[in-house]
Chains A and B, each alone.
Chain A
Amino acid sequence: MARATDPIGVAAFEGGFALPSGEPGWLTAFRGAGAARFREVGLPTNRDEAWKYTSLRPLARAKYEQVDALAEGAAIPKPLIAGAAQAVFVNGRLNADLSDLDGLDAAVQPWARVATAQWLADTVTANPPNQAMYALNAAAFTDGLAIRVEAGSALARPLEIVFLAAPGARPRMWHPRLAIDLAPNARALILERHIGLEDGAYLANHGADIRLGDGAVLVHAKIQTEAKDARHLAMTRVDVGRNALYDNFVLTLGAGLCRNEAAVSLSGTKSEVRLNGAYAIDGRQHADHTSRIDHLAEDTRSRQVFAGAIDGQARGVFQGQIVVDRLAQRTDGHQLNRALLLSDQAEIDAKPILEIYADDVKCSHGATAGDIDDDQLFYLRARGIPAVQARQLVVRGFLAEAAAGLSDETVRTVILDAIDGALGLEIAS
Chain B
Amino acid sequence: MLNIKDLHVSLDGKPILTGLSLTVPAGEVHAVMGPNGAGKSTLAYTLAGRDGYEAQSGSATLGDADLLGLEPEERAALGLFLAFQYPVEIPGVAGMTFIKTALNAVRKARGEPELTALEFLKLVRATLKDLSMDEAMLKRPVNTGFSGGEKKRNEVLQMALLRPKFCILDETDSGLDIDALKVVADGVNRLRAPDRGMLVITHYQRLLDYIRPDKVHVLARGRIIRTGGPELALELEEKGYGDILAGLAA
Contact = CB atoms under 8 A, between A and B. Distances in A.
The answer to whether A binds B is yes
B87 interface: yes
B49 A384 contact: no
Interface stretch (B30-38, B54-62, B94-102, B214-222): B94-102
Contacts of B77: 384
B16 interface: no
A381 B73 contact: yes
22 contacts: A376-B90, A378-B48, A379-B87, A380-B102, A381-B72, A382-B75, A383-B99, A383-B105, A383-B162, A384-B76, A384-B105, A384-B106, A385-B105, A393-B98, A393-B101, A394-B90, A396-B92, A397-B92, A397-B141, A400-B93, A401-B91, A428-B97
A385 B101 contact: yes
B102 A385 contact: yes
A401 B92 contact: yes
A387 B71 contact: yes
B71 to A, nearest CB: 7
Contacts of B206: none
Given A381-B72, A387-B73, A376 B94 contact: no
A394 B49 CA distance: 19
Contact of B90 (A380, A389, A399): A380
A385 B94 contact: no
Given A383-B106, A390-B73, 7 more contacts: A376-B89, A382-B82, A382-B84, A384-B103, A393-B98, A397-B91, A427-B97
Q: Which 6 pairs show the lowest CB-CB distances between chains A and B? A: A397-B92, A384-B76, A400-B92, A384-B106, A397-B93, A383-B102
A119 B151 CA distance: 55
Interface string A380-422: 1111111101100110111111001000000000000000000
Interface of B: 48-51, 71-73, 75-77, 81-82, 84, 87-94, 96-103, 105-106, 109, 117, 141, 158, 162
B90 A379 contact: yes
Contact of A384 (B73, B93, B141): B73
A398 B92 contact: yes
Given A381-B76, A382-B76, A429 B105 contact: no
User: Chain A: interface secondary structure?
Assistant: helix
A375 interface: yes
User: Chain B: interface secondary structure?
Assistant: helix
Interface residues of A, number: 28
B92 A381 contact: no
Interface of A: 373-376, 378-387, 389-390, 393-394, 396-401, 404, 427-429
Contacts of A397: 90-93, 141
B92 to A, nearest CB: 3
B74 to A, nearest CB: 9
Contact of B97 (A375, A381, A383, A429): A429
A400 B94 CA distance: 10
A181 B106 CA distance: 52
Nearest to B161: A383
B84 A389 contact: no
Contacts of A374: 51
A380 B49 CA distance: 12
Q: In the complex, which of the residues B90, B105, B117 has the most CB atoms of chain A within 10 Å of its own CB atom?
A: B90
Nearest to A307: B92
B105 A375 contact: no
A149 to B, nearest CB: 33
B84 A379 contact: yes
